[in-house]
Structure 1
Amino acid sequence: MKTGLASTDIAAAPVRVMLLLGSLSGGGAERVAVNLANRCDPTRVDLRLALLRRTGPYLAEIDSGRVDAPAPRTVSLGGFARAPGDIARMIRARQPEVLMSFGMGVNLLAWLALRGLGENRPRWLCREDNNSDAQIDNLLGNPLGRRLIRAATRRVHRSADGVVAVARDLASTFEGRVGSSGRLRTIYNPIDVARIERSALEASVEVPERPFIVAAGRLERQKGYDLLIEAFARSRAASAMDLVILGQGSLEDALKRQAAALGVGDRVRFPGFQANPWAWFARARLFVLASRWEGFGNVVAEALACAVPVLVTDCDFGPREQVVHGQSGWVVPSGDAGALTAALDRLLGEPDLRGRLSAGGKARSAAFDLPVIAAAYTDLFVDLAMARSASPIAAPPTAWRAPGPQGPETAPVARA
C-alpha cells in the first residue's frame, strides 16, 4: 500500500485513521479517543480504534465493529514483547493511511511495530498526553534506566511524522527533540459540553447529605490525593463537609488509612469509577485538582463545563492553561498541602468569589468543546494523509490551533 494518495483519491473516500491505545480503561486519553471516534466527520475520516487489550468501561460507548484488538491472552512480560507484532498485524489488516498512538508507552510500541512495515507504513502521529519526564522519574529509580527511556523517547519522536501535545507548555518540552518545528502541534483535549450538561442534570447520583468537595481521577501518586486529604483535614471551612474522590487505583487503601489517621475517615468517600462524574461535579461546592503533574487534565475542563468552581495546582502541565487565576479558576502551587488548605478556606468562605469563578469557568469550557477539537484533528488527519512525501507536516491552518487561555499565557499562581 502506498501511503501518499492523490487529492482526488482523498476526495473519493474518507481517510482511513487508526487510533492506537493500550485499552479503553477509564482515563482521559481513552475518553479522548472515544470522543474523536464518535465525532470526527465520517465523510472525511474513517476512524477505528486499535487496542492492545479489549477491556475498559468506555467500550460501551463505541460501536464494537470499529474496535480491533488481538485475541485475549494472559498479561505478562511476554504479552508486552508480542505487542509490536500485534500492532503490525492490525495495521496490515486495516491498512490505515494515518496512525495516531496515545501516550509514551504505546508510542514506543508503535515505533517498534512500524519499523518493519516498509511501504505499508502509515503516516504516524505520536500523541503525548502527559508529562513524560515526570512519568519516567516516577516509574524508574535507576538513573541509567531513566536516561535510556528518555533517549528512546527522543528517537520515537524523531521517527514520527508528527507529534501532538495536549498543552502548549507540554509541547515546549519537545522542542529540539522532534527535528523540524513544523512537526510539533498543540491540540487541547476535547470535552463533549452538550453531553456533560445533559448528564449533570441526572438525579440518580447518591451524593452525600452534607455539602461536599469533589475530585476525580486515577488513585495514583500523580494526582496528589494525599496532599488533598491532608489539606481537607486541616481546613476549618471544610469541617462540616465531605470530600468525594471519584476513581480507582492502587493507592485506595493507603488513602483510606491516611484519612482515618487524620480523623476524617468518615468524611472522605471513595465511590470508585463513575460513568457519570459530571452529576457529582455539578452538585459539589468545589472541584479540586491537586496533581503533582499532568498533561492536560480532562476533568478540569469537564468541571468547568459543569459550572462548579475549580481549584487547581500549578503543575506541569495543562491546568494553568485551562484556567486563569481569579477569573475562571483558582491556582495554587503544586505539592503544597498548606496552599491547598488556605485556598479551601478562602473559596469555601466566599460564596461571591465562587460564583464569579463558576461563571468564568463555564464560559472558558467552550474552548475545549468537542466539535472544535474534533474538527482540528480531522483537518490534521486529512492533510497528513494527503502529504505525498515523508516531509514534515505543513504549517496548519488557523483552525488547527487550540484556543489559548482567556488572558495571560501563564496564569498567575496564588501564594496565599
Structure 2
Amino acid sequence: MKKINIVFYIYQMGAGGAARTLLNIINNLDRDKFSPILVTLNYDGSYEHALKDDVKFIKLDTKRLSRSIFKLAKIIREEKVDIVFSTIPRVNTIAILAKIFSFTKAKNVVREADNLGGTQKENVQLLGFGLMYRLANQIVSLSEGVKNNLVDRYKVPRKSIEVVYNPVDVDNIEQLANKEEDFQHASLFDTDDKIVITAGRLVPQKDQHTMLRAFAKVNEQTPSRLMLLGEGELYEELNELARELHIADRVHFLGFQQNPYVYFRHADLFVLSSKHEGFSHVIAESLATKTPVVSTNCKSGPSEVLDKGKYGLLSPVGDEQKLADNMLTVLQKNPQELQEIKDKGFERATFFHSSKIVRQYEQIFFDVL
C-alpha cells in the first residue's frame, strides 16, 4: 500500500502545547502507513531535537507567515502531499491557501487549540477564520469546549468538527521524569517545605498574578516554595509582585526547562491558574508524573481533563482565595490520601495515551482521503 504523505505545518517547533502535540502525533504515526513531513518557518524550536530521525524536516526561508504561502504550495506539489495538517488559526489559514495554490488534490485538516475570542475585534477575526475553515476538509477540535467555541464564534457547522484530545506520551514522560541528570535545580527542592510548581509562558493568559496571590495565602499556613517553569513578557512584573507580597524568597523563576517532568515528579502539587485554555496539555502531563493537580475551571480544557474535578480540584478563574483553599486541601492530605490522588491521576493520564489518541488521528486522515 502506498504510504500517505502528510505535511505537518506549524509556525515553529517551540515550547508550547501545539508543538508538543504535533511532536507526539508525528513521532507515533504508523510508519507502515504514513510518511510525515514537518514544515516550519525559519525559526529554531526547542522540540526539534525530539523528532524521530526518519521525519523529513523542512524550514522555509522566511520568518513571515504571509510569505510562506507559495513556498508551502511548492512543497505540497513536489512532495506529492496527500494531507496538510496544521494548527493555530493564522497558520491554518496559510495552510488552506497554500493547498489551494498548489493546484493538487491534497486535503486540509486544520486543528483548533484554544478558546479564542471575547472582544468585538477578536470575534470579527474569528468569523474570518471560520470562513477559511469551511474550505478545509476536516476540522479537529482538541476538546468539546473548543468545539462549542468554533460553532458559536467561528460559525463553523458542528457536523464538520471532530473532537480529538491531545495525545500524552505517557511512556516517554515516565522515562524523562526519572532522568535525574536533567534536574538542575535539585538544591531548591531539598527542603521540608511543600513544593508547588507550575509551567507555562509568563503571559496574561496564564494569570500567574492570581497564582502568586494564592500562593502567598498558602505560605502563611503551610511553609512552601513556588517553582515557575517558563519565560515571557511578564517576568519583571511577576517578580515585582512577589516582592510586594513578601514572598520573593519563596518564589523561584526557573525559566524554560527542556525536561519539565523531572521537576513535576519532585513537586508536591502542580497548579494552573489560566484564564482560558484549549485542552491544558500540561495538566495531563502532570498527572502522568503522579503529581496532584489544582487548576482554574477556565474554558475549556481543565474540567474535561480532570473530569469535572474527579481527578483534580477546580476553582473559578481569578479567585485567589478559592485557589489557595484548594492548594491547601491537597498539601495538607495525609500520605495515604495523597497516594490515592496520585494513582487516580496517573490512571486518568493514560486515558490520553498517545498510542490511543494518534490512532484516532490516523482514522481521521483515512476518512478524509
Structure 1 and Structure 2 fold alike (TM over 0.5): yes
- Could you say which residue in structure 1 is the equivalent of 2:224? 241
5+ long unaligned stretches in structure 2: none
Matched, 1:117 2:102: yes
Task: Measure the CA separation in 2 of the matches of 1:70 and 1:179.
Answer: 30
Q: CA deviation at 1:191?
A: 1.0
Give how far 1:86 is off.
Answer: 2.6
Matching residue's letter, 1:243: L
| 1:324 Cα deviation from its structure 2 partner | 3.2
3-state SS of the aligned residue for 1:17? strand
Which residue pairs with 2:19 in the alignment? Answer: 30
| Residues 1:319 and 2:289 aligned together | no
Query: Secondary structure of 1:346's match?
Result: helix
Alignment match, 2:352 = 368
Q: Identify which of 168, 189, 195 aligns with 1:191.
A: 168
User: Are 1:226 and 2:209 an aligned pair?
Assistant: yes
Secondary structure class of the residue paired with 1:266: helix
Conserved? CA contact 1:166–1:188, under 8 Å: yes
- Amino acid in the other structure paired with 2:134: R
CA distance in 2, matches of 1:375, 1:25: 24
Q: CA deviation at 1:291?
A: 0.7
Residue deviations 1:111-146 (CA, integer Å, cap 9, x gap) = 33333333x151111100111225xx4xxxxx4x43
Paired residues of 1:309 and 1:358 also in contact (CA < 8 A): yes
Does structure 1 conserve the Cα–Cα contact (< 8 Å) formed by 2:287 and 2:342? yes
Identify which range, 35-44 or 125-134, moves more after superposition. Answer: 125-134
Question: How far is the alpha carbon of 1:384 from its aligned partner?
Answer: 1.3
**Bigger RCO (CA 8 Å, 6+ sep):** 1
CA distance, structure 1, for counterparts of residue 278 and residue 170 of structure 2? 20
Task: Tell me: CA distance 1:260–1:130, structure 2 relative to 1, closer, same or farther (3 Å).
Answer: same
Query: 2-side partners of 1:203 and 1:216: how far apart?
Result: 19
Helix, strand or coil at the partner of 2:101: coil
Contact residue 145 and residue 278 of structure 2 kept, 8 A: no
TM-score, scaled to structure 1: 0.82
Q: Which moved more, 1:21-30 or 1:341-350?
A: 341-350
Q: CA deviation at 1:319?
A: 0.7
Q: Greater shift after overlay, 258-267 or 17-26?
A: 258-267
Q: Does 1:173 align with 2:149?
A: yes
Structure 2 length-normalised TM = 0.92
Amino acid across the alignment from 2:78? A
Question: Counterpart of 1:368 in 2: which secondary structure?
Answer: coil
1:248 and 1:133 map into 2 onto residues whose CA distance is: 24
Q: 2:80 aligns with which of 91, 95, 100?
A: 95
Q: Is the 8 A contact 1:237 1:345 kept in 2?
A: no
Give, in whole Å, the separation in 2 of the partners of 1:384 and 1:181. 17
Aligned CA RMSD, in angstroms, stands at 1.9
Q: CA–CA distance in 1 between the matches of 2:284 and 2:109?
A: 24
Task: State the identity as a percent.
Answer: 27
Deviation at 1:96, TM superposition (A): 1.2
Number of aligned residue pairs: give it.
Answer: 360
Matches within 5 A, 1:13-412: 13-62=2-51, 63=53, 66-71=56-61, 73=62, 75=63, 79-118=64-103, 120-133=104-117, 137=119, 143=120, 145-175=121-151, 177=154, 180-204=157-181, 205=183, 206-207=185-186, 208=188, 209-210=190-191, 211-236=194-219, 239-324=222-307, 327-351=310-334, 352-385=336-369
